[in-house]
Amino acid sequence: MQFKPLNPDFAARVRASFNRQSAMGLIGAELTVVEPGRVTIELPVRDDLGQQHGFVHGGVVGMIADSAGGYSAFTLMPADASVLTVEYKVNMLAPALGERLIARGEVVKPGRTLSIVRADVYALAAGRQTLIAAMQQTLMVMHGMSDEPRV
Amino acid sequence: MQFKPLNPDFAARVRASFNRQSAMGLIGAELTVVEPGRVTIELPVRDDLGQQHGFVHGGVVGMIADSAGGYSAFTLMPADASVLTVEYKVNMLAPALGERLIARGEVVKPGRTLSIVRADVYALAAGRQTLIAAMQQTLMVMHGMSDEPRV
Amino acid sequence: MQFKPLNPDFAARVRASFNRQSAMGLIGAELTVVEPGRVTIELPVRDDLGQQHGFVHGGVVGMIADSAGGYSAFTLMPADASVLTVEYKVNMLAPALGERLIARGEVVKPGRTLSIVRADVYALAAGRQTLIAAMQQTLMVMHGMSDEPRV
Amino acid sequence: MQFKPLNPDFAARVRASFNRQSAMGLIGAELTVVEPGRVTIELPVRDDLGQQHGFVHGGVVGMIADSAGGYSAFTLMPADASVLTVEYKVNMLAPALGERLIARGEVVKPGRTLSIVRADVYALAAGRQTLIAAMQQTLMVMHGMSDEPRV
């Protein structure tokens, strides 16, 4: 689908917000693509992101899916609004293995109050991408709420 | 509900598995309660776990809910089985603020192949607990699969 | 949890709204308990509600869970608001078999804009209740929107 | 994605199974497209499918999404297996209004034990389709279980 952003500075705004997410820094996530309604977050796989079998932890997969989805919705929000996650549901489809995880969010329906997004997460191993997770998410547009730190 | 574990050593097994989850170590999560069908994971709040407003990142909240839920199911699995998350859905109910987050998982229905679990996450601030997230999750019993590292 | 309704006439309002849901009439659903934050809907099992194996269709189970959950939230909304389902997620736990299905909704967190609810569905067979489905749901408070027909 | 069915008679099998779902007959749902990994179910809008505002009930929307998704997965299952819904999550995006609802399921990942599917539901009004619901679902492959009635 083709989306028209309400805020011409949406990309700079998303990048500034992502840089304030210290949890993304902790796991080493990188914001790559920022387009109207679409955001990609990539995560170099590290040993300290694992679950008990040595795969990347499902919760970490959920984290980058949540962020990619939330920022996809944020690209279409007005300049005076902030974004909050209402809920997300993520299916784990295959073990998170490889050199890098790539979470691609895409808005299904932008709304004045709520936006619905889907994100797919791929694992890149030896040049080949495998779909490892599928997410569906509800975001809330917080009108008149700054995206700056509140605490 | 009252659950009867199939594996008398369930608690030691859960603790050993949790200790192998390097991602839990990265965020500083602690395994506290381990009972048949119920597991609690606590997370001291740190600055490097934040999202853009300074609250704990929703994905981090999802991580500890996912782990608390998964280990709740694991307590009831046979000694030769491992656990994998099929999917989870989490609602964010209030900002994750305070000194400590507490994720309490509880099995809704244990099964031979699939187990269903709910988890609630509370934020502890100034001695008071506030419900901040509610999760529902599906886990798979992996019969004959070791819980040891595979990679 | 103990909830305090904003609208003293909540029960009459829920009953009137339920009676306008022709789909509930089509499947033969009955509204039984209406309390602050809690609503029960029961469904006598009929042959024309089945899926291919002869159990009650999972979508029908979802329907009564959705309605029980939605009306649980509606009991706590102000008199000038209506309720809309944002999303729901339902796990099927056991075959829907027996004489009657009983869907019990309960508010997890009422909110000014969004309310979060859980519902459990039981099948009653030979005097014994079995948990057959577990739902988690997000509802929206539509301030200033009548609950009367709009079409 | 391109899928290769394991059972060459998948279409006849899906149609026979759908015809045994009495609940689909009750609401008047019609099975239209049956392709490998993709199934469409259509629902002529009727007055007796409504919720309180006169739109089609969200639970009815969920029913056809659940069936379209489940049969999408079923097209890819072996001839001796049956399909059961493990769980589904559906977002309501717009009021279900118009002459006809169209639920299109598509497999995201077929599996030996579990299959993951997404479905989108559209409302057709005056020749124009509007996306009204988005679903994500987990199905179980029941090996060695007949699709015939069990009760």
Interface test with A, best of D88, D107, D136, D140 (most A CBs within 10 A): D136
| Cα–Cα distance for residue pair D112/A71, rounded to 1 Å | 34
Listed residue (D136, D53, D46, D40) closest to D95, CA to CA: D53
> Cβ of C116 under 8 Å from any chain D Cβ?
no
Determine the distance from the C-alpha atom of residue C140 to the mean position of all C-alpha atoms in its chain, rounded to a whole number: 15
Element (H, E) at A65: helix A58-74
CA distance from start to end of chain D: 37
**Burial classification of residue D131, based on how many CB atoms lie within 10 Å of its CB (0-12 exposed, 13-18 middle, 19 or more buried):** middle
The DSSP output letter for B94 is S
Closest chain D residue to C140, measured at CA: D92
ipTM tops the 0.90 cut? yes
pLDDT at site D52 = 86
- At residue C113, what are phi and psi to the nearest 5 degrees? -110, -45
Say if residue A102's pLDDT is above 70.
Answer: yes
Using a CB-CB cut-off of 8 Å, the residues of chain D touching B113 are 113, 140
Say if residue C150's pLDDT is above 70.
Answer: no
Neighbours of chain C (3+ CB pairs under 8 A): A, B, D
Distance from the Cα of D3 to chain C's closest Cα (Å) equals 24
Mean pLDDT across the stretch A29-55?
A: 96
- Mean pLDDT (chain D) is 95
Q: pLDDT-based confidence at A54, cuts 50/70/90?
A: confident
Using a CB-CB cut-off of 8 Å, the residues of chain C touching B93 are 108-109, 116
Using a CB-CB cut-off of 8 Å, the residues of chain D touching A94 are 109
Closest chain A residue to D114, measured at CA: A93
Say if residue C53's pLDDT is above 90.
Answer: no
Q: Which positions of chain B have pLDDT values less than 50?
A: none
Interface test with D, best of A1, A91, A112, A113 (most D CBs within 10 A): A91
pLDDT at site B148 = 76
Instruction: For C67-110, write each residue's pLDDT tens digit.
Output: 999 999 999 999 999 999 999 999 999 999 999 999 999 999 99
Going across the sheet that includes C128-143, the strands are: C30-35, C38-44, C100-109, C114-125, C128-143, C81-92, D81-92, D128-143, D114-125, D100-109, D38-44, D30-35
C72 and C120 in contact (C-beta within 8 Å)?
A: no
pLDDT at site A72 = 98
Distance from the Cα of B136 to chain C's closest Cα (Å) equals 7
pLDDT at site B10 = 97
Backbone region of residue D88 per phi and psi (left: phi > 0; alpha: psi in -120 to 50; beta: other values): beta
> Cβ of C71 under 8 Å from any chain D Cβ?
no
- Provide the residue ranges of all domains of chain A, joining segments of one domain with +: 10-143
pLDDT at site C144 = 87
- Mean pLDDT (chain C) is 95
Say if residue D151's pLDDT is above 70.
Answer: no
Distance from the Cα of A60 to chain D's closest Cα (Å) equals 20
Assigned token pair, C11: 């029960």
Mean pLDDT across the stretch D69-92?
A: 96
> Cβ of C52 under 8 Å from any chain D Cβ?
yes
- C 76-95 near A (Cβ less than 8 A): 86-87, 89
Instruction: Provide, for chain D, the percentages of residues in helix, strand and coil under a 3-state DSSP scheme, each rounded to the nearest 5.
Output: 25, 45, 30
Q: Residues C95, C126, D18, CA angle at the centre, nearest 5°?
A: 30
A116 vs D91, D108, D109: nearest CB: D91
Partner-chain contact C114 A89, CB within 8 Å? no
Instruction: For A4-20, write each residue's pLDDT tens digit.
Output: 999 999 999 999 999 99
Q: pLDDT-based confidence at A116, cuts 50/70/90?
A: very high
Partner-chain contact B131 C108, CB within 8 Å? yes
- Residue for token pair 């890819």: D76
> Cβ of D42 under 8 Å from any chain C Cβ?
no
D56 and D120 in contact (C-beta within 8 Å)?
A: no
Q: pLDDT-based confidence at D105, cuts 50/70/90?
A: very high
Partner-chain contact A134 D109, CB within 8 Å? yes
What does DSSP say about strands D30-35 and D38-44: parallel, antiparallel, or unpaired?
A: antiparallel
| Cα–Cα distance for residue pair C112/A111, rounded to 1 Å | 18
Q: pLDDT-based confidence at A80, cuts 50/70/90?
A: very high
Q: pLDDT-based confidence at A151, cuts 50/70/90?
A: low
Neighbours of chain D (3+ CB pairs under 8 A): A, B, C
Using a CB-CB cut-off of 8 Å, the residues of chain A touching C140 are 113-114
Domain spanning B10-143, CATH architecture: Roll (3.10)
Listed residue (B68, B84, B55, B59) closest to A29, CA to CA: B59
